[in-house]
Amino acid sequence: MNKIVPQFGVGTFRLTGQTVIDSVKTALEVGYRAIDTAQIYGNEAEVGQAIAESSVNRNDLFITTKIWTDNYAADKLIPSLKDSLQKLRTDAVNLTLIHWPAPSLGISVAEMMHNLLEAKQQGLTEHIGISNFNIDLTQQAIDAVGIENIATNQIELSPYLQNHQLVNFLQSQNIDVTSYMTLAYGKVLNDPVLNEIAKNHQASTVQIALAWALQRGFSVIPSSTKRENLIANLKAQEIQLSLEEMQMIEALERNGREVNPENLAPAWD
């Protein structure tokens, strides 16, 4: 399967101002080439500044942003994305996602996806996709714009929330799975099982959680403000977990969802 979304990127959720500028610049310095942001993060301009101030060529980067729920309607989506492009200082992003399905808004999946496809057809984004969609809504998105126009579904996944039904569905459809909150807001740091596995690999629990996600075939976008952590996160790509270790992590599943905003989230599978 040909992955569209790079396997490893840097996330920018909850980072603003100089903090996000420094984080992205450092990430680019130490080897990251994919950056994930969103309109609602309020940091697209700072991400754009960091990219502009780095020595990395724009053509070598994969930039993802997400359309916020206020901007799904036909008269809002494209203008809002153009605004994002201006902030990010680029003519087009590589990937644009619908951030949340927000069923209570009364805008159908078909409508929001058609509006997003129009942005792709205008050359404002190379790929389009979805985020936080369950199986039913993903199927609606596929029906609306065709499976070839769904690059990824970016969903919360961690050792504590493994979302097998949704993941199996996406992988059966050859839709990239992007994992966010892979470290469960830092809860994995002190996990005894992950700690035991980490010792086997002279690694950290964070690296083990990331390695687990990578081995499941997910793309990951962990964020950090510290250079040493950004470098350590990248090194998770070098860890090969055994079948037994993967099964130990599988047993940590507890449907531990960290992010589930009322009115925005779907009914999860």
Known catalytic residues are: 41
Q: How are beta strands 62-67 and 93-98 bridged, if at all?
A: parallel
Adjacency order of strands within the sheet including 219-220: 10-11, 34-36, 62-67, 93-98, 125-131, 152-156, 176-180, 219-220
Report the 3 state secondary structure along 134-145.
CHHHHHHHHHHH
Radius of gyration of the chain, Cα coordinates, nearest whole angstrom: 18
Q: In whole angstroms, what is the distance from residue 36 CA to residue 44 CA?
A: 10
Greatest Cα-to-Cα distance within the chain, rounded to the nearest angstrom: 55
Residue 108 gets which letter from DSSP? -
127 is in an annotated binding site: no
Intra-chain end-to-end CA distance of the chain, in Å:
25
Binding residues for substrate, as ranges, are: 99
